[in-house]
A and B are shown apart, each in its own frame.
Chain A
Amino acid sequence: MTTKDVVITGMGATTPLGGDVASTWDGLLNGASGTRTIEADWVDTYELPSRIAAPLAVEPNEVLPRVRLRRMDRCEQIALIAAHQAWSDAGFELPSEDAEPVEPERLGVAIGTGIGGPMTLLDQHETLKSQGLRKVSPLTVPMLMPNGPAAHVSLELRARAGVHTPAAACASGSEGLATGMDMIRSGRADVVVAGGAEACIHPITVAGFAQSRTLSTRNDEPERASRPFDVDRDGFVMGEGAGVVVLESAEHAAARGARIYGRLAGAGITADAYHITGSHPDGLGQINAINTAIGTAGLSTTDIGHVNAHATSTVVGDVGEAAAVRKALGDDVVLTAPKGALGHLVGGAGAVESIATILSLYHGVIPATRNLDNPDPKVELEVIAGEPRETNATAAVNDSFGFGGHNVALAFTRS
C-alpha cells in the first residue's frame, strides 16, 4: 500500500430494508423488498399515477431524541444516523471535552444529496401562508439547505478539514465518496466521512417524477414494481435513505490498527452534456467514467468481477447502462442491481449501493437482483438473479448516474 491508498473502515446506513447496514445487507441477500403502498391521503388527493414508494424501515424518531429531530430536516436526520453508525463501526468515540478521536483539522465530510430539505421549505411556506411570520421556524434555512446533512455531521464529529455537498442528482452519494477520496489523496484530510442522503417522498417529488414518466405504476404489486433489467420493468420506485462510510488513508488506518473492509481504489466522474434527463445513447460518458475509475485504481478490466449497476428499472436507462458496461469491461463481467430490493434512494443510492459493493467483496457474495424474472433480451450481459452468487473477485465497480448527465463510477477492491 502507498500513502495514497484510501480504505473503508466504517459503514452506516438507514434504508427501506433496515435501519442499519447489517439489516440492509441481510435484506439484499434474502431478496427482501422495501417497496410499499403509499398510505398518505395525497396520493388520492392529487390522483398520482404512482402510488408506491420505498420508505425507511426505521423512522428517525425511533433513533434520535425529540429535540434533535425538531432541529433537523428528515434528510439531515438520516445522514446523521448513518454517520453515527459509520463512526462507531470505524471504532471511534464521539468527540468530547477530553478527547478528539481524529484531529479535527484532518477530518472532512463529503455527503451529497439530490435536493436536501425541500420538505422543510414546503412546510414552512405553508406555515407562513396560514399562520404568518411569527410561526416560521428560525431553523427554516439551516433545515432546507442542501449542505445541512453534511454540516450536521461536521458539527457532531468535529470535522474541520472542509465539508462538501456534491449535488449530482441520483449520483450524489457516489460523488460524495469520490470527493472524500480526493480529499485524502490530495492531502487535505486523513479521514473523511462520506456518503449521501435523501428523504423526500412528498407529493411534489412524486408528481414531478410522474410527469417526467419515470416512475413505476405497478401499484397493485408494490414489491414487484422495481425490476431492473426485467423485460416488464416500467420505471423506478421513489425511495429514501442514507449511506455513510468512513474513508481513511491506509496509513492512518494502519497506525490505529483499524478493521479494513476494502479500498476505494479509483473514481471516474464524467458528464454527458447531451440532455437534461436522458443519458447519451452512445454511452460514452458512462464508459469513460468506468475506464477512469479502473484506470486510476491501477486495475485492468479483467479484475472487475461484477458491476453494481445504477439500473433504476426504467425502460431506456437499464439497457443503455448494460451496453456501456459491456463496452467498457467486456462480456464476462456480471451485473447486479440492488434497486430491485431497495427502490431508488436518489441522493442516497450511490452511497448505500457502494456499501453493498464493498460488502460483496468483503464477504465474497453478490446479492441477486430482485424481480428479475425475465431478463430483457436487449441486455447482453449476465445479471445475477434468483440466489446470491459467491465470488472470488478482488475488485468491483459501482455505477451511479444522475439527471443532468452525471456519471460516476467507483472502483473498489478487497483490502
Chain B
Amino acid sequence: MTNEEITSGLASIVEEVAGVDAEEVSVEKSFVDDLDIDSLSMVEIAVQAEDKFGVKIPDDELANLKTVGDAVDYIVKNA
C-alpha cells in the first residue's frame, strides 16, 4: 500500500469518526490542533486504523502520533 493510499484510508476513517471532511486530512495536519479531534475520537480512529491496515497501535505509540503524517509513517513501518 502506498503512502497516498494510507493517507486516503486514514482520511476516510477520520471523516467517518470525527466528521472532518476527508479532503482536509493531509499529512502535515495535527489531529488535535488542526483537525479538532479529541482523545475519545482518537481511540476510535486507532481501532479502525488497526483493522484497516493490519497494525497494532498500543496506547503509548498512539500518544506519539501527533500528525496525520506521523500515523502514516507508523503504519508504513509496522504493517
Contact = CB atoms under 8 A, between A and B. Distances in A.
Contact of B40 (A67, A135, A138): A138
B40 A65 contact: no
B18 interface: yes
B19 A66 contact: yes
The B interface, classified by DSSP as helix, strand, loop or mixed, is helix
A94 interface: no
A139 B17 CA distance: 12
A300 interface: no
Contact of A67 (B19, B47, B50): B19
B47 A135 contact: yes
A211 interface: no
Interface string A122-154: 000000000000110111001000000000000
B19 A137 contact: no
A67 B44 contact: no
Nearest to A137: B44
Contacts of B39: 138
A67 B43 contact: no
Interface string A49-93: 000000000000000011110100000000000000000000000
Contacts of B19: 65-68
Interface residues of A, number: 11
B40 A139 contact: yes
A229 to B, nearest CB: 48
Interface string B8-47: 0000000001110000000000000000000111011001
A28 to B, nearest CB: 36
B50 to A, nearest CB: 8
Nearest to B42: A138
Contacts of A66: 19
Contacts of A137: 44
B43 to A, nearest CB: 4
Nearest to B20: A67
B47 A134 contact: yes
B18 A138 contact: no
A138 B50 CA distance: 16
A134 B18 CA distance: 18
Interface in B45-61: 47, 50
A57 B30 CA distance: 41
Contact of B44 (A65, A68, A138, A142): A138
A41 to B, nearest CB: 27
A141 to B, nearest CB: 10
Contacts of B40: 138-139, 142
Contacts of B41: 138
Nearest to A142: B40
A61 to B, nearest CB: 14
Nearest to A134: B47
A132 to B, nearest CB: 11
A121 B5 CA distance: 36
Contacts of B44: 137-138
Nearest to B18: A67
A67 B14 CA distance: 11
A137 B39 CA distance: 12
9 smallest CB-CB distances across A and B, nearest first, come from A67-B19, A138-B43, A138-B40, A134-B47, A139-B40, A138-B44, A67-B18, A65-B19, A66-B19
Interface of B: 17-19, 39-41, 43-44, 47, 50
Interface of A: 65-68, 70, 134-135, 137-139, 142
18 contacts: A65-B19, A66-B19, A67-B17, A67-B18, A67-B19, A68-B19, A70-B17, A134-B47, A134-B50, A135-B47, A137-B44, A138-B39, A138-B40, A138-B41, A138-B43, A138-B44, A139-B40, A142-B40
